[in-house]
Amino acid sequence: MNLLAPITQDTQPGVPVDDPRRDVRIGAAIVIFFFVVLLGWAALAPLDAAVPAQGVIAVSGNRQSVQHREGGVVTAIHVREGQRVNAGDVLVEMAAPDLRAQERALTSDYLTNLAQRARLMAERAGQRNFAPPAEFAGLPAEDQALAAQAMALQRAQLQARLAAVSAQKSVLGQRSAQLGEQQTGYSGQIASLREQQRLLSEELAGMKEIEKKGFASVNRIRALERALAELKGQEASMTAEIARAGQGKGETRMQSVSVESNAQEQIASDLRDTQARLSDVLPKLVAVREQLQRARVRAPVSGQVVGLSVFTIGGVVTPGQTLMEIVPERRTLVIQAQVAPTNADDVYPGQIAQIRFVSVNDRTLPLLTGKVSTISADSFTDEKSGRSFFRAEVEIPRDELQKVGDALGKGQLRPGLPVEVLLSVRKRTALQYVLEPLTHALWGSLNEQ
């Protein structure tokens, strides 16, 4: 052994020799510390979870479909695609010649019965004239002529019926007067007969005195007695005629009362019939006018016409066909989002939602914050893709919409624009994100038969 060998750095006294095991321990400690910190963070740090959904901007209350219940032939089109209309504006007119003729006939019948009812009520009250019914006030021009004709006819009929009753009463009055004159004449004749009887009785008494003295014949006395008896018979006949005339006057008075009573009964019967006809014709008239109103298709709300499907005058519209849709104006914009059935349980009213615009020109727009207002109770199926989804409606506050207005300008946010919606759900830790799929899979495998 060479005791004089040079001393190297590894063998210099006081310098520690490297221990590879120490490096391993330090590295292991660092790794363990990192995993402990990571596991602690994963177990304790909450992470926001969200349900993604695709949606479009819509108007609260949706588009208003314009349909025609009966269908028919188009006679006029008053709007074009994209045109703004006001509520009540006529959009399309349908042909309805039969309904128009029926409406005119029913209107004439209705106005005639109204005038007849007014006439009968005036006649019942003993009036010689009557005012038009209250229903005649404010009639359209085409109905005013019918109303005037009905009033003229009923006024003429009132005068005719009053004249007929008056004529009957006049005839009965004349007959009663004639009977009274007959009674007066008979009474005068009775007075004359009684005077003749008095004179003849005095003559007969004188003749009987003379006959007792033998100066008068019995035949003369018998002739006077016969003449007196004949006068008494004439008086009795005149008395009977007076009674008969009195009876005739009583019958005449009863007939006069009967004329008035029969007239009132006829008025009451006609009034009932008229009211029954009014009750029958009025619902029919209302129904026909409603059909005529539907022949003039009007805008249900103010807004913009979209999806116009009628373009040809003379074209046929089927019953219930959608002629167009109207996007209402001045209504709150909402988001109609389609939520996958697997995420529907995590969506509820009042839930916070983040809205992002997905079109190229709108990527610079800020995120909008809204709130879920409704979630459908059942799923829908997309007819094109066959995909099932639940429909959620997200309301956007006005201050959030103002952000878009400030960025793009007023009126640029329109219904139909596509958006992405993130619906915030319960907070979970990173560890729960990792373990929940495993626990669900394990639960499913353990419950398999």
pTM over 0.75? The answer is no
* Predicted pLDDT of residue 202: 82
In the CATH scheme, what is the code of domain 70-95+296-316? 2.40.50.100
pLDDT of the residue at 269: 92
Q: DSSP alpha helices (H): ranges in 74-140?
A: 97-124
pLDDT value of position 79 = 92
pLDDT at position 1, please?
41
Rounded alpha-carbon distances, angstroms, from residue 145 to 13, 94, 119, 149: 136, 26, 18, 6
pLDDT for the residue numbered 43 = 59
Tokens of 157: 């009929």
85 φ, ψ to 5°?
A: -130, 155
What is the Cα–Cα distance from 35 to 29, expressed in whole angstroms? Answer: 10
Q: What is the pLDDT of residue 8?
A: 47
Q: Please report where in the chains the tokens 């014709």 appear, as a residue.
A: 281
Please enumerate in sequence order all residues whose Cβ is within 8 A of that of 84, keeping only pairs 6 or more positions apart, or say none: 302, 303, 304, 305, 329
Q: Where are the domains of the chain?
A: 49-61+331-427, 70-95+296-316, 99-294
- pLDDT at site 11: 47
- The 3-class SS string of 314-382 reads CCEECCCEEEEEEEECCCCEEEEEEECHHHHHHCCCCCEEEEEECCHHHCCCCCEEEEEEEECCCCEEC
The three-class DSSP label of residue 82 is: coil
Output the six-digit token pair for 18: 């490297």
Cα–Cα separations (whole angstroms), residue 315 to 12, 98, 309, 415: 111, 18, 11, 30
158 contacts: CB under 8 Å, gap ≥ 6: 119, 122, 123, 128, 129, 130
What is the structure's pLDDT at 282? 93
**pLDDT at site 364:** 64
Task: Report which of 58, 53, 57, 62 is spatially closest to residue 347, judged by C-alpha positions.
Answer: 53
> Token digits for 175?
């007959």
The domain defined by 49-61+331-427 folds into: Elongation Factor Tu (Ef-tu); domain 3 (2.40.30)
Could you state, in chain order, the average pLDDT of each consecutive group of 10 residues for the chain (449 residues)?
46 54 77 75 61 80 80 90 89 86 92 93 88 90 91 90 81 80 82 84 80 75 83 84 81 79 87 94 91 86 87 89 83 81 84 78 71 86 86 83 69 74 69 60 58
| CA dist., res. 329 & res. 304, Å (int) | 7
Instruction: Please report the pLDDT score of residue 407 as a whole number.
Output: 67
